[in-house]
């Protein structure tokens, strides 16, 4: 079967739909479409012919996409979605259903997985939604369509029927992640590293996934709650090392690999095992990983030896009550000691900070900024809270009346940047955005930080200097302009 798998265009810009908080990002970040890529790999393994189009990354406009699909005449269309783009996504789906009436249209992604009935009731032109992890759902649905079988026998689908939306039942999650196709193979056949950018990594970089889900309990976190449904699974160290070598072979221009797991360092022992496997395999690529503040010093040292350059850590807040309130499971003291261990191991840190979690006040925000400055990460991001459907935080804020709108287009500004739709008691959405802008300026424009970055650029012009200057060119108008 000929199948079109599409990351749709949106706002005529580099809309990073795969990001945990989809937007046109200030730093210019563009995530690889790895969840779609896994599905492309499983479809191709079942001998389907796949046209894989990442429109935002390839600058494919809506009209260009329609022309490509009309020419390709696929027998099945799969569209990715997100909350802020959902109105546009559904409009495109309706247009495609009219253009190619014999091709069923399936939606995937976080928004439709969180609100499948709502989406289907409003969109009779949609055939169905593959909810959660859809790697194996789509190949089974495609094979069923080929033999004119009954889609109601394919688990993991919400279907439009004449009566009402019909759920085919939950699909069991993939327990053996090593059994899935490797992203590196799909990337080589369909995508170009130069089309993607991650500000914290050296350009060009490649994103891979070594685990799914997260055993921790953060109320705001999107993928574990909506895509992975709370189930944590991990690939073997040998599989990760094998994929590293494939990236190294397929993409000699790539400067870094980014482990985009929700939490790469769930288990420090596993981190050490992967590091050992990379060392044994002779990997030469630097890498970056998302970690928790409880990562051990021995694991950090082993990571450094295996080529790790940067740790991305969700510090989130400088107030312990805020951390407790979202179920973070870490402490302010752990944050501080993590930074010390990272420096001891010779690893840089990118710190992530949030504004607007339950209980937030101007005083707790001040604690967060003071902690950020004391931690001295190499880079930092300050985000107003983004509450997405399907998360416990969204349900909590909706019940409390803190969401100032449920018009999903308002999750972004007119320029496609992150917006905030949460009004907390005594702290409005506009104040949260304003605080993030001010915190960003105070962090980055400190004389000590500017001197540190200047020295880093002089000492490492071809690596850290190049990365910093590329990110700064995109980021500077937001840093000095101060508006979302």
Taking the alpha carbons at both ends of the chain, their separation in whole angstroms is 44
Write out the E strands in 23-127.
49-54, 76-81, 105-109
> What are 84's two structure tokens?
């802020």
For the chain, how long is the longest CA-to-CA vector?
A: 67
Q: Return d(Cα 218, Cα 275) in angstroms, integer.
A: 27
Helix (H) or strand (E) holding 318: none
417 vs 484: CA distance, rounded Å? 6
Pairing of strands 49-54, 76-81: unpaired
* Residue 347 contacts residue 300 (beta carbons within 8 Å): yes
| Residue showing tokens 């959660």 | 132
Nearest to 249 by CA among 283, 213, 292: 283
Tokens representing 13 are: 């810009």
pLDDT of 473 reads 61
Total-model pTM:
0.94
Q: What is the predicted pLDDT for the residue at 483?
A: 41
> Does domain 198-481 bear CATH number 3.20.20.70?
yes
Antiparallel, parallel or unpaired: β 166-167 and 211-212: unpaired
Stretch (H or E) spanning 216: none
Q: pLDDT by residue for the chain (484 residues), tens digit each?
A: 999 999 999 998 899 999 999 999 888 899 999 999 999 999 999 999 999 999 999 999 999 999 999 999 999 999 999 999 999 999 999 999 999 999 999 999 999 999 999 999 999 999 999 999 999 999 999 999 999 999 999 999 999 999 999 999 999 999 999 999 999 999 999 999 999 999 999 999 999 999 999 999 899 999 999 999 878 999 999 999 999 999 999 999 999 999 999 999 999 999 999 999 999 999 999 999 999 999 999 999 999 999 999 999 999 999 999 999 999 999 999 999 999 999 999 999 999 999 999 999 999 999 999 999 999 999 999 999 999 999 999 999 999 999 999 999 999 999 999 899 999 999 999 999 999 999 999 999 999 899 887 887 776 776 666 655 655 565 555 555 544 3
What secondary structure letter does DSSP report for 325? H
Write the burial class of residue 466 (CB in 10 Å: 0-12 exposed, 13-18 middle, 19+ buried): middle
Phi/psi for 389 (5° steps) reads -55, 140
- For the chain, the structural domain boundaries read 2-167, 198-481
pLDDT digits (tens, 9 = 90+) for 125-183: 999 999 999 999 999 999 999 999 999 999 999 999 999 999 999 999 999 999 999 99
Look at residue 4 and give its three-state secondary structure.
strand
d(CA 45, CA 142): 12
Rounded Cα gap, residues 366 and 375, in angstroms = 14
Tell me what percent of the chain is helix, strand and coil, each rounded to the nearest 5. Answer: 45, 15, 40
Return d(Cα 238, Cα 246) in angstroms, integer: 13
Nearest to 15 by CA among 74, 78, 62, 52: 62
- Report residue 224 as tokens: 């574990």
pLDDT the model gives residue 484: 38
- Give residue 470's pLDDT: 59
CATH for 2-167 is 3.40.50.280
């Amino acid at each position: 079967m000929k199948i079109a798998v599409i990351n749709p265009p949106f706002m005529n810009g580099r809309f990073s739909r795969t990001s945990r908080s989809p937007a046109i990002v200030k730093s210019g970040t563009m995530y690889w479409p790895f969840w779609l890529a896994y599905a492309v790999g499983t479809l191709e393994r079942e001998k389907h012919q796949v046209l894989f189009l990442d429109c935002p990354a390839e600058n494919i406009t809506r009209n260009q996409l329609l022309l490509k699909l009309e020419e390709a005449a696929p027998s099945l269309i799969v569209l990715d979605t997100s909350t802020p783009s959902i109105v546009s996504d559904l409009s495109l789906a309706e247009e495609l259903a009219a253009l190619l009436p014999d091709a069923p249209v399936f939606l995937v992604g976080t928004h439709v997985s969180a609100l499948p009935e709502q989406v289907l009731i409003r969109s009779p032109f949609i055939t169905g939604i593959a909810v959660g992890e859809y790697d194996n759902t789509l190949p089974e649905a495609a094979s069923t369509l080929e033999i004119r079988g009954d889609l109601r026998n394919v688990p993991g689908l919400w279907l439009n029927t004449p009566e009402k939306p019909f759920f085919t039942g939950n699909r069991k999650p993939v327990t053996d992640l090593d059994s899935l196709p490797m992203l590196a193979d799909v990337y080589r056949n369909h995508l170009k590293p130069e089309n993607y950018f991650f500000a914290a990594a050296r350009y060009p970089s490649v994103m891979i996934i070594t685990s799914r889900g997260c055993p921790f309990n953060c109320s705001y976190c999107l993928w574990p709650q909506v895509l992975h449904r709370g189930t944590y699974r991990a690939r073997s160290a040998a599989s990760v090392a094998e994929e590293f070598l494939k990236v190294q072979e397929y993409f000699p221009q790539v400067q870094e690999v980014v482990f985009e797991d929700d939490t790469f360092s769930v288990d420090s022992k596993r981190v050490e095992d992967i590091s050992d496997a990379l060392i044994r395999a002779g990997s030469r690529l630097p890498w970056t990983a998302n970690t928790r503040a409880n990562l051990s010093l021995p694991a950090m040292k082993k990571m450094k030896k295996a080529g790790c350059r940067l740790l991305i850590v969700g510090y989130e807040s400088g107030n312990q009550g805020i951390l407790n309130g979202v179920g973070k499971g870490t402490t302010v003291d752990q944050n501080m000691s993590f930074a010390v261990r990272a420096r001891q191991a010779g690893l840089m840190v990118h710190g992530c900070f949030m504004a607007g979690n339950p209980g937030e006040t101007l005083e707790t925000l001040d604690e967060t900024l003071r902690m950020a400055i004391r931690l001295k990460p190499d880079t930092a991001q300050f985000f107003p809270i983004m509450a997405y459907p399907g998360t416990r935080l969204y349900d909590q804020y909706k019940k409390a009346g803190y969401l100032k709108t449920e018009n999903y287009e308002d999750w972004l500004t007119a320029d496609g940047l992150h917006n905030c739709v949460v009004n907390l008691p005594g702290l409005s959405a506009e104040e949260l955005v304003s605080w993030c802008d001010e915190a960003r300026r105070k962090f980055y424009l400190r004389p000590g930080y500017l001197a540190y970055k200047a020295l880093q650029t002089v000492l490492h012009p071809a690596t850290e200097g190049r990365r910093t200057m590329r990110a700064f060119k995109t980021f500077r108008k937001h840093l000095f302009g101060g508006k979302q």
